[in-house]
Chain A
Amino acid sequence: MQYQIILARRHNFQCVNAMTSHLEQLDYLTKEISNSFPGNEALISQLTTLITACPPTFTYINDPYTPRVTASLVNTLISSLSAVDATFFDDDVTPIIASAQVNAIACFTSRLFYDTTFNCLAKWRPRWEDGCENWPGAVNGLSSGGAGLSSPLKGGGEASLLNTAKAVRMVLVVDRAERLTESLPELLVPLTRLAELSKVDIHTIFISQSPWEDVKPSTGTAIDPFHLSVYPPLKEDTLRILTSRFPTDGDLAAMPHAYHPAFAELYAQYVSALFSTCSPFTRDPYELAYVAAAQWPSFIAPVLDAQKGATEFHPIPEDVRLRLLRVFLPSFAAALEALLPRRMHATAWSRMSDMADGVRIDEKNSEVTTCSLTTLQKYVLLAAFLASSNPPKTDARMFARGHEMRSKRRRGGGVRKTPQRNTKGALAKVGRGSFLVLSHHVP
């Protein structure tokens, strides 16, 4: 008897304890993720609350600016939420979370979509030795259509119960959801109403660059989502992300090298200068990080030269830093120009000695290419360019076949006047730009 009371007390105590510690854990988790994704605190806490408390069945995250960052943020969040061991908290409030994140572009057939989703939700890893079997629970529901999702989902829910009687909450995240309309249009509506159709606790989240109005099927069969919008990252947040990505190994005792921890401060200044040059064109932290990574080796090269032979690191005076930044400012723009459209890749850019050469090398390359063309190829190129300014009517006249052509041929009659047009204007309308490369090389 005594023993039972003690047990009951202990149980109560544990419940309270569990509650607090679960919330604490969530708080801690939120903070941690916020640290790695600065500027998204609001979104993170909102999502955490929604998923752990009482989620709407369908959430739509619209992020026109940095979808890649958001996707990885959501991925981190849900996977750490599902990693929380809910069985430890012996209450009914804390759900077990099973999650899956699929990319609507990568899953280009419904089978891929199902396989990925079920394997992910059930935390099933196919193994070569087992003949790469999928999660066995999914077999029944693979038949077709969105409704087919429901039965394996139920099964999935039950299977994931393990030994406890706790509820399992499933979260399904679809990246690049705007592409669903092209790749898997038949799944769009069922996905939005998944909880309703399957009658299990499942929460669907779409992450998309487009607003819901563009994705929404016109039939009105989809339910309206709970909207979340992501705003463009602020300067400080972007800088924090960039600075935090300095790839240093943290070994202060090492000989000076490009990623020596002592350069972290200089890197922060460098990133800030880079940001001020590039921000009018892109604010995507990933793109900026790409440019920064490509440009850094040549930026740090003069500093390393100065440190050459030194056994330990000498701090760099402030005026030297400023001078360095001033010298390199024009090259930032050149780097952006070459790297943002990926006319070069970062590794190639980082190997170039003189940044300003980038454009010149590019021109030289195109010149070499032109020189290696044979005469016939040059003429074909030229003809294609000239023909590109033909009005569509000319094309039709040249390439249209048979009937149409014959009907236009009239017999007799004098010379018909073609309606006078402002030829210059017309040409300017259809014409392309100038064609510099060829002009030198066609004999």
Chain B
Amino acid sequence: MAAAATATPSSLGVLLRGGLYFLDTTPPDDAECLSVGVLHLKLLSAFLLVFCLLWAKCLSTGVLHLKLTVFYTGCLLWAKCLSTGVLHLKLTVFYTGCLLWTHNCLSKFSLLLSKLNITIKISMSNLRGSVGYIVTSCLLNENHDFLRLAINAVRNDIIGRNETFQCLALTLVGNIGGREFAESLAPDVQKLLISSSCRPLVRKKAALCLLRLYRKNPDVVNVDGWSDRMAQLLDERDLGVLTSSMSLLVALVSNNHEAYWSCLPKCVKILERLAKNQDVPQEYTYYGIPSPWLQVKTMRALQYFPTVEDPNTRRSLFEVLQRILMGTDVVKNVNKNNASHAVLFEALALVMHLDAEKEMMSQCVALLGKFISVREPNIRYLGLENMTRMLMVTDVQDIIKRHQAQIITSLKDPDISIRRRALDLLYGMCDVSNAKDIVEELLQYLSTADFAMREELSLKAAILAEKFAPDLSWYVDVILQLIDKAGDFVSDDIWFRVVQFVTNNEDLQPYAALKAREYLDKHAIHETMVKDFNNSNPSFHVCEDFDAHSTTRQGAAKSNLGNIQQQRAVEYHALSMKGAALMDILSEMPKFPERQSSLIRKAEDAEADTAEQSAIKLRAQQQTSNALMVTDQRPANDTQAVNQPGLVKLPSMSNVERSNAEQGATHANGALTVVDPQLPSTPSPDLLGDLLGPLAIEGPPGTGPQIEPTLASDLEDGANADALAIAPVEEQTQTIQPICNIAERFRALCMKDSGVLYEDPYIQIGIKAEWRAHHGRLVLFLGNKNTAPLSSVQALILPPSHLNMELSLVPETIPPRAQVQYPLEVINLKPSRDLAVLDFSYKFGTHVVDAKLRLPAVFNKFLQPITVSAEEFFPQWRSLSGPPLKLQEVVRGVRPMPLSEMANLFISLRLMVCPGLDPNANNLVASTTFYSEGTRAMLCLVRIETDPADRTQLRMTVASGDPTLTFELKEFIKEQLVYIPVPSVAPNPVPPPNPMTPQALPTSPPTAVSDPGALLAGLL
């Protein structure tokens, strides 16, 4: 095998395979590893080389299976190399491999670690140096099992005599900082830190190590009584130890400053010592500045104390600060500049924090003003950033306003980071007096701004315009200009908002209409403008000719608008989900993001289907007008409405109807909705939900039939038909509608393993599944989306006879905004296509919601794709001769699809398509393994013969070693190919329809008949 290095590639492959096998099965014991390694040093390096090549090749071909094996072997090799000391390649290979592949092979990795363990044991016990430590600290998670094994070795090093090892061990612990480490090592580390016999090198590491352990597990590390020790540590002369101790102090003080008052004067002393440059060793002087890091850290620590009470300390502190503020100049040397300004900026922050005398504050602002016009970009950046911070802390706006011109110039800075800071600052300093100037500047800047910034810019401009508008017509002007200039970047909120304002203010309408018209008459208008225009439309009665405009524009825009609009909605949704981080957005428009996000979430879930699309639009309008009724002109005033979204809808019911009536009259494609005005206590029904789930439409029986014809004629397409046909299985909600298409969700989940199963305004049920052979593990995630708890939560599994299912206990209530998980174990006993049903109910307020959901523990989840070669396939195929083991059927009414699509479908059903087995290109051969407790692993073979002339029919042959399995698999594939709505063919344990919606059932037959899918199903 030593010849490997010189052999030709092909023979290499053979050799290698043998070698890999050999290595893979080697028993992992120390002596073996070592001796084999040392003996076959040359062999191993040859292997390593080949391994690298192979690995690179695998990477490019993407054969995952192979990659793992190779990686695994590579690691093994490494383990051996480490012991042999083939220094050059070992780590590079291992390390790259790990970093790239840990993702995919964590499970393999942990196996491997038992072997790695040996290596590290060796390297630690035999003084093998830092390699083991480095690898461990780079690659291992604090929760990794391996660390438990290593604790003892690490501890021995920490309490041992050798300082280098102490350092290595402390570095490892400090970088990982796991719980087990904290429990067993924290006392030792503390001892090291305060021991006087240790070298500073060890002590400073001990300080940081302790800090890390404390940060990660504050409950485990005991720091009671550490205030005296900290004070002692601060007397330290060595600046390295002092820097680390100061970091530790920052962490301790930030948690509980009361206990550490005694440290405050010491900090000031240290600061004094540094500022006066007394007794600072040469190596800690950085470009002439005495340890800027320690100065910065000390001032950070001081910022955690609320005030400095002792007059003497206070005086000396201010002296030092004054000295820093006055004594810093911009110099030639960049590094010196950075260091001195680091200290200076920290001093500024401290002054701000201490809320010093007026004089000192204005001195600070003056300094900042100087900074923002300085040549050095970093200092400009920080000047702007600190000015923004200063706005929040103190009342210095007037002084800052003097620099407004300079800040506006910074908007044109060559550096985008600086431009962003300038924008933030302008946004923060804006008030009634300067709003007009600033907004106009922003608008002007908008046309030249980077694309990356435009969205933020337009949002900020819109918020400012709204917040500080001197009169509303100006506001409308601004927004229209905004949309004109940055159409793509204007988020939906902005135009919703302007529509809302205009609708609320009748006096404003003529003006707004006129303005909007002007813009519309321009040639290149943006679609957002059209949207804006459309949505304002119902309220712009004043202009008759608008309707004409609107309808033409709408028609042109609608076709391409849909997807784009949805896209944007999704993007914005994510933005608004960030919540606290986007403080500025949310604080200024408290109402909008909140309401908007729920709206968008619904829109996101809806199909990109034209009929539904118009429903979304319609509802968007509806929602807007809903909000109008309760919205005061000042957004800040309606925080009450935010907290009670339910209330917003109630008074506006009549409005919904009115606008709907208008919609119905003006828009040809507007779907009609009927809301019963006599039921004011029910929340406004979700229009989209109505369209998707017609069975659950509420209202007096008299109105039901009225709706159905409209719907049936409007929604004659497959997706909807499907929803109609499946409806009996899942929809029994009374007043709360699911906001997603459950059938669609279920079907998606049949193909993948995680996703949302059900969602309504209050709850979201997600599912995550893992399947291994005939075992499955489902986890249900029940998320309460509301700010109130959900009570009486019940979940019941109705398993079919072939599945063994166990759901752990569901607690009664789900706390607000919380997500709870329920694991569910599934065992497949025998092949069957029956479905499990989850009967789920909860109570929100007075509503009881009861949903019956099919669980995606379907037939194909127990399949495992397998590739068979021609030699394996044909004997098997022949041996299974005739019924009942081999069944053949001619299937008609197949959804026409090209063969490649069918192959994809098969793959998604976990049937491995084996190309090349059948000489006829129109045929498809697939193989898979089915797992159940009854059949164990059973090979299934499928052959599909299609007719290129008539794609709607095909002949299917299914073979397996079990008659039931053959039959079930055949039916299953047929279902997928024909796409018959499930309940009409599958002998499901269909739960009895909920008696709470009696009027729902009679309406379903006519709709089912009207759709082609159901007709087809009936024929078949």
Are A and B interaction partners? no
Which residues of chain B have a CB within 8 Å of any CB of chain A? none
Which residues of chain A have a CB within 8 Å of any CB of chain B? none
